[in-house]
Amino acid sequence: ARRRRQSSDDIINNVKNGHDDGVSSRSSSRVLSAHWEGDAVAALIYGNNNNRGPPPPVPAAGAGVTEATMRHGRGGYHRRVGDDDDEGGKLLKEKLTLLDQQIQRFTKENEVCKTLRIERENLLQEARGIRDRAKEEADDIRKEIDEERLALKRERKRFQEEKDRNRQLTTQQVKWKDEERMLREKIEKLEVEMDNKTRKGELEIKRLHTVIMEIQMKNKHLVDEVSICVVNASIHDDDDVE
């Protein structure tokens, strides 16, 4: 019994040192990461003997019992009752408190990992949506520019035909000049509109590209955080298995 209590005290001291220093050592992780139940804790204190049941009860205060011999299970064992029982009960409560705190911390870390995974999926979905919308907008802008260029080409062709035809009609020179002026103004207007739309399309494409790059950087950061959480969770799982 003395050797078992000494081993339990060593485990508690290791757990305390790991908790106070803020560093989870491999030995303390093995103790704290396991989701122990009452039977496992009892096995840690009293040994892993399947033939033994739970520890005997502590005598009531004021009963006048200072030392007693108690037999338990088939093999039986003897232990002191009194100060040793009080100390063992305190150690057990301290162990259970530390284990509960560690379990709560692991639960919170798992929730944070789940939240990061959800945020990552949402960001990926948002990035895909922005990319698809940017592609659609870029296609629409290119299509509109092509249509404007084709219309300008047809307009220039028609203008040239009108010009050649009006040159042969001396009686319609005045009308030809007016029409030529109107066509020139229209061509200039179309050229200005085409230039504006081209610049607007290029600026929009650059802006969307910048947004996509920012989202990708943010996604990379979240992926790194999720990877760290997954590695930590794997380490804890390996410690639980050990």
pLDDT digits (tens, 9 = 90+) for 16-34: 454 444 434 444 444 444 4
Nearest CA-CA partner of 101 in 40, 14, 16: 16
Mean pLDDT, range 54-74, rounded to an integer: 42
Mean pLDDT within 95-124: 91
Q: What is the pLDDT of residue 160?
A: 85
For residues 72 and 53, is the Cβ–Cβ distance under 8 A? yes
Percent over 90 (pLDDT), the chain = 14
Q: Nearest-CA neighbor of 207 among 218, 196, 199?
A: 199
Residue 83 has pLDDT above 70, yes or no: no
Q: What is residue 210's predicted lDDT score, i.e. its pLDDT?
A: 92
For residue 123, what pLDDT band results from cuts at 50, 70 and 90?
very high
In this structure, what token pair is assigned to residue 195? 């230039």
Residues with Cβ within 8 Å of residue 24, at least 6 apart in sequence: 18, 32
* Whether 45 contacts 92, CB under 8 Å: yes
Q: pLDDT tens, 221-242?
A: 888 888 888 887 777 666 665 5
| Mean pLDDT of all residues belonging to the chain | 71
CA 211 to chain centre: 20
Task: Record the pTM.
Answer: 0.27
Closest to 35 (Cα-Cα) out of 87, 94, 105 = 105
pLDDT at residue 118, rounded to an integer: 93
Candidate from 30-39, 111-120, 209-218 with smallest mean pLDDT: 30-39
Q: CB atoms < 10 A from the CB of 79, how many?
A: 19
Share of the chain above pLDDT 70, in %: 61
DSSP H helical segments within the chain, as ranges? 2-20, 26-33, 38-46, 83-167, 173-241
pLDDT digits (tens, 9 = 90+) for 149-177: 898 889 888 888 887 776 777 776 777 77
What are all long-range contacts of 50-53, with beta carbons under 8 Å and residues at least 24 apart? 51/75, 52/77
What span, in angstroms and rounded, lies between the C-alpha atoms of 78 and 68?
A: 8
Paired tokens of 164: 């050649």
Confidence of residue 111 (pLDDT cuts 50, 70, 90): very high
| pLDDT at site 9 | 55
The Cα 77–Cα 3 span in angstroms is: 14
In terms of pLDDT, which residue wins out, 185 or 41?
185
The tens digit of pLDDT for each residue in 173-208 reads 777 778 888 889 999 999 999 889 889 889 999 999
Q: Give the model's confidence band at 113: pLDDT under 50 very low, under 70 low, under 90 confident, else very high.
A: very high
Q: State how far the Cα of 86 lies from the Cα of 131, in Å rounded to an integer.
A: 67
